[in-house]
A and B are shown apart, each in its own frame.
Chain A
């Protein structure tokens, strides 16, 4: 993509990150690490790929997005807000009793959320069901999903993978947010699902490895490649957990913890500096 288009996306991603921080800080809980790692992937999908209309979030033939790693709700909400599905100010209501922004995505009440998720391993099955529905009923919408790397330890993911390939669901593209960390440690320490690409290939998917899953050029190249493949596609995107906030990067303790006031100010100052640099 050209320099200006990439700069625009990077500005948006920076604003998305600020929304994530605002939400998690305001809620005093939530999952910043895996939200920040998936920011470029989800920003790219909502700003460059998905056929959607913020004015008509239930548009029948819209492309679908499923955040299978539902705990990364802050990034999905922040992207939806930047894309115009609701006001960015709503991020400060995250996880609060009267807010539509539940701790995990709720399709019933949040404009733009296509599937309720949060229990790991389940979102991908729903995404596969959506892709099957499109194919069966003759609709041409595409389905995208984002899985966590730890999430693919769930057996249901592989039940879904087997089914998707068997039914020839080429309208399905699934990202694995390969940030290498889960709650109890690195994925290698816990129960490594590697080699991830080989596993998907063994399930008759096409696998694409993205060396820097926080780089829009590389994400774009992978998505474009996926569009040419006549199989379900897994894009294994190597990302940095906590990306964009120095003290959160590659730090397992920021999987599911909110920054205190001091650290929040530090994080926002870093992001503001980045935003000014881009603008």
Chain B
């Protein structure tokens, strides 16, 4: 087996900013004293005059971004998911969401894979929070390639975009030919017995689960759902119709995230069994990220278990 290259999605975010900075000068980047961690530092280093540090004041940073966007300019602001979506939720809702401004929020260090910093920094609620804002687009890339492409797509998008990146280096799933489109789920493996809809770092786990299920004679369809809002309902409904049951997998609370979005999409049109894998209404804790992913059950083996449960629930 060849060695898989691992890179954090936040690196894709930083690389995209740096590349875009070389291509166009019609945007600025904001951070809240975390540039080295969020990877906006890559942009700051190349284009110091186009980078503004807001200091440790995320609420103001969102407002600054809104003001810049209100003058018709593009802006990307960044902090950890906890402090962007969490601390500045109401600023995002009222100053960015309500006026539907072209603000990109690059939220890094999402989920429990933050690791040693522990519960205060492990945001598993951001997707749920952002989903409640009308007109908000939410993108949770699976790997560095998708992260880079998603930032480029967000720069062309009309309206606010919340982008979710991780701290942990995760396996590269997509090659350079991969095409990303906002609002489109991507079928990565064909299958008929069950569909696994995964987002973020759970996409790679889902691909591993595919092989494990295959060995047991179970044919799983794998879908990468990078855009959680607007959800690609067509691909979800098609999967429900053709495979009869669904597993969702996310490094996020099972309350309000991808699993909830899928359930909401299905419940009114074709309510097949959905088994949600995610963080089960609890806080994270300190520890090495891989250990935490094991402990919180966010691994391929857990997806396999959920897939079997979903199949057993089929009528």
Asked if B237 is at the interface of the complex by the 8 Å CB criterion, the answer is: no
A162–B71 touching, CB < 8 Å: no
Considering the complex, which residues of chain A in the window 215-253 have a beta carbon less than 8 Å from any beta carbon of chain B?
Answer: none
* B63 to chain A: closest residue by CB: A125
**Nearest chain A CB to B9's CB is how many angstroms away?**
27
Flag whether B59 is at the interface (Cβ < 8 A).
Answer: yes
A interface: dominant SS: helix
* B interface size (C-beta, 8 A): 28
Closest to A118 in B: B94
Q: What string of 1s and 0s marks CB contacts (under 8 Å) between B11-53 and chain A?
A: 0000000000000000010000000000000000000001010
**Cβ of B134 < 8 Å from any Cβ of A?**
no
Chain A residues, Cβ within 8 Å of B54: 159, 163
Give chain B residues whose Cβ lies under 8 Å from the Cβ of A122. Answer: 59, 63, 66, 91, 94-95
Contact of A129 among B57, B59, B66, B98 (CB under 8 A): B66
Instruction: Tell me the smallest distance from the CB of B37 to a CB of chain A, in Å.
Output: 20
- The docked-state distance in angstroms from the alpha carbon of A132 to that of B27 is 12
Interface string of B92-111 (1 = CB under 8 A from A): 00110011100000000000
Contacts of A119 in B (CB 8 A): 90-91, 94-95
Could you tell me if A133 and B60 are in contact, using CB atoms closer than 8 angstroms? Answer: no
Q: Write the nearest CB–CB distance from A115 to chain B, whole angstroms.
A: 6
In the assembled complex, the Cα of A123 lies from the Cα of B95 at a distance in Å of 8
Cβ–Cβ contact B55 & A126, under 8 A: no
Q: Are the CB atoms of B57 and A115 closer together than 8 Å?
A: no
Counting chain A CB atoms within 10 Å of each CB, the highest count among B52, B63, B90, B95 belongs to B63
- Interface size of A in residues (CB-CB distance below 8 Å): 36
Contact present for A129 and B94 (CB under 8 Å): no
**Which residues on the B side are within 8 Å of A106 (C-beta)?**
98-99
* CB <8 Å contact, A107 and B70: yes
CB distance from B197 to the nearest CB of A (A): 34
User: By the criterion CB–CB under 8 Å, are B67 and A136 in contact?
Assistant: no
From residue B54, how far is it (CB to closest CB) to chain A in Å? 6
| Inter-subunit contact B67/A156 (CB<8 Å) | no
1/0 per residue, CB under 8 A from B, across A102-122: the answer is: 000011100000111011011
Chain B residue, CB-CB nearest to A136: B28
Known: A119-B90, A119-B94. A64 touches B71 (CB 8 A): yes
Instruction: Kindly supply a per-residue 1/0 record for chain B positions 45-84, scoring 1 wherever the CB is within 8 Å of any chain A CB and 0 otherwise.
Output: 0000010101101011011111111111101000000000
A128 touches B63 (CB 8 A): yes
B93 to chain A: closest residue by CB: A119
- Of A64, A66, A121, A132, the contact of B64 (CB 8 Å cutoff): A132
Q: Mark A40-80, 1 if CB is under 8 A from B, else 0.
A: 00000000000000000000100010100000000000000
Identify the B interface with A (CB < 8 A). 28, 50, 52, 54-55, 57, 59-60, 62-73, 75, 90-91, 94-95, 98-100
Q: Which 5 A-B pairs have the closest CB atoms?
A: A129-B67, A125-B63, A159-B60, A159-B57, A126-B67
**What would be 11 A-B contacts, judged by CB atoms less than 8 Å apart?**
A64-B71, A107-B70, A115-B95, A119-B90, A122-B94, A125-B62, A128-B63, A129-B65, A129-B70, A133-B68, A156-B57
